[in-house]
Amino acid sequence: MWTNSEDKALRVRAEAVIPGGMYGHQSARLLPEDYPQFFEKASGAHLWDADGNRYLDFMCGYGPNLFGYGHDGIDAAYTGQLARGDTMTGPSGLMVDLAEQMTAMVSHADWAMFCKNGTDATTMAMMTARSHTRRSTIILAKGAYHGAAPWCTPVRRGVAKGDRAGQVFCTYNDVESLEAAVREAGDDLAAIFAAPFRHDTFVDQEDPDPAYAKRAREICDETGALLIVDDVRAGFRLARDCSWSRIGVAPDLSCWGKAIANGHPISALLGGDKARAAAASIYVTGSFWFSAAPMAAALATLKLIRETDYLEQTVALGQRLRDGLDSVASRHGFGLRQTGPVQMPLILFEDDPGLGKGYAWSAALVKRGVYFHPWHNMFLCAAMTEADIDFTLEAADDAFMAIRAEGVWPPSAQLVAAGLVPGG
Amino acid sequence: MWTNSEDKALRVRAEAVIPGGMYGHQSARLLPEDYPQFFEKASGAHLWDADGNRYLDFMCGYGPNLFGYGHDGIDAAYTGQLARGDTMTGPSGLMVDLAEQMTAMVSHADWAMFCKNGTDATTMAMMTARSHTRRSTIILAKGAYHGAAPWCTPVRRGVAKGDRAGQVFCTYNDVESLEAAVREAGDDLAAIFAAPFRHDTFVDQEDPDPAYAKRAREICDETGALLIVDDVRAGFRLARDCSWSRIGVAPDLSCWGKAIANGHPISALLGGDKARAAAASIYVTGSFWFSAAPMAAALATLKLIRETDYLEQTVALGQRLRDGLDSVASRHGFGLRQTGPVQMPLILFEDDPGLGKGYAWSAALVKRGVYFHPWHNMFLCAAMTEADIDFTLEAADDAFMAIRAEGVWPPSAQLVAAGLVPGG
């Protein structure tokens, strides 16, 4: 039987020693009530919460889990290197191996720099572009997430005006809005940032329009600005190369993190020769950026990326999930908006402005052993099987039946309180 | 025999795939020629470079190594948790344990937030202070290092004007300059940042003047601004509490990193109740901030901090080193400027504006199996022994003799080229 008394007890203790009880993207504050906040263990495609409830996990740690939690080969690479040397007074030669392999796999890239957070990589991209051009203005798509530093965090509290100076916004995939942003930047354009696809929270995901991507490339070529693809979330989930290689557009810089070491802490900025001198000119560093163990894990992960069919497999599983959910939902009279790449799906409901249906359904799924997210893109991993997807479809069927029986789905109280959806 | 052909070969490969061959604080670019760039392994107080040369390491990974590289108990805590679950879809209960233990040990702190880089912690401190006060201006001591984000990195390339808006500078330990900075901030003062002691590179270190620290505290109390101690580098190396507990001054916020998990990647912002709501109001996060394995390692490290005499031991070894070096140096007619806490020493030479003596001596030490840094504070660790210190003093003796035989010590070519010291 599903219980959450341990989770509740931990939340009470957390409330005392962690501001707001939890912070950041892993706070359960904006998730349906009873979603677990704390987890005890993880293995393959599953995780167990603090009360021992087991979930088939479609968040994959919000992206890092690509080959399964606790992957034997990758973790053995990590622990093997840890026993030799990890955080030392300088990097190990593995850093060179890793830079060579990343640049061999990512077609636009001639060099690599490693860091810890995805935000480190996007910040370094911005600095590199500003150093390269000796200009300041960057173009960002409205609503796109590029990290949580003062210049990019989605919440404005604690952010000073200067942190946001030199930012111009366009609409993803809207060439006209991009042109307008370029005009606004005038002769100060340093960079255009782009997500590999529109993966904003709360809204339908959008594939990149090749015309938009190509125009961004042209503008950068015309103005000398740098084109930056922020592949932190999607990197190696859509391609064994930069995600925009699929539409034939090569950025000057790309940002990586999350899955490149299957959950071990490392991120990266990759770039082409054009931006090499600028990348060398900025001063960026961190206490753990040169640690060898995550690099060993990344090398093991890259090998699996090159040598296995993980990508085709997650696409096939994602398609099976999408098709199955559509069919199950319509049987219960619900319409789903399933968007994004099938292996990184976002699932919203038709006619659900307050996300009431989505919250009720997700909550019902959690109690049936499936961890879905009601407003953030999800992730499939290579440890999932067809049986896992079929288990999910059965749970979904059951959950649709349960919420149909409820009959009304008031807007999410959490989201209403946060001002993110209209109230009832 | 000391050779460096492997290191040289790695450097050639690195030059092709890493901008400038290496970046950040672990680049050997500004160290004496022949200093190793790449390391193969580490154990206890020693590390081995890519050519297999062994060094007694007085940099300790630039701080993270407090109890010895590859500490069995700490690494077992890490790998044990890694096998259970590390980077999951939410934190484990260890995060609550860790926040409870940190706040129990650090007297000014009521809450904790965990992150990866020291820079994350200092940036979060700035944002918390700005949110708390709804003001922008921060006071920093000239030359102090607080991280490598656009707002604080010591090199200006790639930094936009807005990134540095709202910064006023004072001189560390100079109350009058602090008062002047406060006047300049007017009614917009959000925070005063302070290093626990002056640990700037290239200059003599300074203990904090209690009058300066107390005045900073008073100013914050008078103006409502927050006092921030950046204990990333020195945390738990001077005290089993915030470093300023030694002079009786409690900050509102303190920043931690480096050694709190003995080299495993985790940093933290700690604060008092006054700043709790503000800390909860900012949005900060990272892909690996909630990972459980570094938290398990931090818990094991904190236990050693509480239960062993590591601190008294590193102080005793540091004193033995300082006294011994003074005596050996004077025997060879050299005057040393040994400053900073004995367990975090900076060693410069008298009459050495171009650091020529320091570079020659450090280079001679490296070839004798001792890794010293010629212009950055160093670190002792609890894995060092009296025999290690005595070995160092013998190597130092020998190195002094060798450089005395050279007779002239031209300024460091690397530092002259970088414009950091005057040319010959």
* B298 interfacial to chain A (CB closer than 8 Å): no
* A57 interfacial to chain B (CB closer than 8 Å): yes
Q: Judging by DSSP bridges, how do beta strands A111-115 and A253-256 pair with one another? A: unpaired
Distance CA A93, CA B77 (A): 26
Quick one: pLDDT band at residue A205, thresholds 50, 70, 90? very high
* A290 interfacial to chain B (CB closer than 8 Å): yes
CB A174 within 8 A of CB A216: no
> Which residue is associated with the tokens 């960026």?
A284
C-alpha distance from A44 to closest chain B C-alpha (Å): 10
Tens-digit pLDDT profile for residues A8-38: 999 999 999 999 999 999 999 999 998 999 9
A193 Cβ neighbours under 8 A, 6+ residues apart: A122, A125, A126, A138, A139, A140, A141, A144, A146, A228, A230
B contact residues 337-376, partner A, Cβ 8 Å cutoff: 371
Residues in chain B with CB shorter than 8 Å from the CB of A164 are 162
A342: Cα within 13 Å, side-chain hemisphere: 17
Quick one: pLDDT band at residue B424, thresholds 50, 70, 90? low
Distance CA A146, CA A123 (A): 9
**pLDDT at B422 (0 to 100):** 87
**pLDDT at A141 (0 to 100):** 98
Q: Give me the amino acid identity at A321.
A: L
> Using CB atoms, which residue from B39, B92, B267 is nearest to A92?
B39
Q: State the CB neighbour count (10 A cutoff) for residue B286.
A: 26
Whether residue A423 is predicted with pLDDT greater than 90 in this model: the reply is no
A12 Cβ neighbours under 8 A, 6+ residues apart: none
When pLDDT is averaged across residues B197-208 and rounded to a whole number, the result is 98
* A107 interfacial to chain B (CB closer than 8 Å): no
Whether residue A396 is predicted with pLDDT greater than 70 in this model: the reply is yes
Distance CA A405, CA A389 (A): 24
What 3-state DSSP class applies to A301? helix
Instruction: Look at A265 and B265 and tell me if their CB atoms are within 8 Å.
Output: yes
Distance CA A53, CA A42 (A): 11
Both tokens of residue B343?
Answer: 């367990």
* B293 interfacial to chain A (CB closer than 8 Å): no
Distance CA B322, CA B309 (A): 20
> Which residue is associated with the tokens 């009431």?
A356
Both tokens of residue B134?
Answer: 């709804």
Q: Judging by DSSP bridges, how do beta strands A189-194 and A336-339 pair with one another? A: unpaired
Q: Give me the amino acid identity at A327.
A: S
When pLDDT is averaged across residues A138-157 and rounded to a whole number, the result is 98
Distance CA A174, CA A191 (A): 17
Whether residue A1 is predicted with pLDDT greater than 90 in this model: the reply is no
> Which residue is associated with the tokens 């708390």?
B132
**pLDDT at B186 (0 to 100):** 97
When pLDDT is averaged across residues B377-397 and rounded to a whole number, the result is 98
Burial (CB < 10 A; 0-12, 13-18, 19+), residue B113, is buried
Q: Judging by DSSP bridges, how do beta strands B137-141 and B189-194 pair with one another? A: parallel
* A28 interfacial to chain B (CB closer than 8 Å): yes
**pLDDT at A424 (0 to 100):** 61
- ∠ at Cα B413 (B409, B419), nearest 5°? 120
Distance CA A140, CA A133 (A): 17
C-alpha distance from A67 to closest chain B C-alpha (Å): 13
Tens-digit pLDDT profile for residues B29-62: 999 998 999 999 999 999 999 999 999 999 999 9
**A42-55 b/e with 16+ CB inside 10 Å = b?**
bbbbbbbbbbebeb
Tens-digit pLDDT profile for residues A48-68: 999 999 999 999 999 999 999
> Which residue is associated with the tokens 């790309």?
A254
Rg (CA), chain B: 22
What 3-state DSSP class applies to B365? helix
**pLDDT at B423 (0 to 100):** 80
Q: Which of B90, B67, B51 is nearest to B261 (CA)?
A: B67
Residues in chain B with CB shorter than 8 Å from the CB of A232 are 287
When pLDDT is averaged across residues B136-165 and rounded to a whole number, the result is 97
> DSSP states of A76-111 as a string?
HHHHHHHHH-SS-SS--THHHHHHHHHHHHSTT-SE
A254 Cβ neighbours under 8 A, 6+ residues apart: A106, A108, A109, A228, A229, A230, A231, A235, A242, A269, A270, A271
Residues in chain B with CB shorter than 8 Å from the CB of A291 are 263, 265
Whether residue B1 is predicted with pLDDT greater than 80 in this model: the reply is no
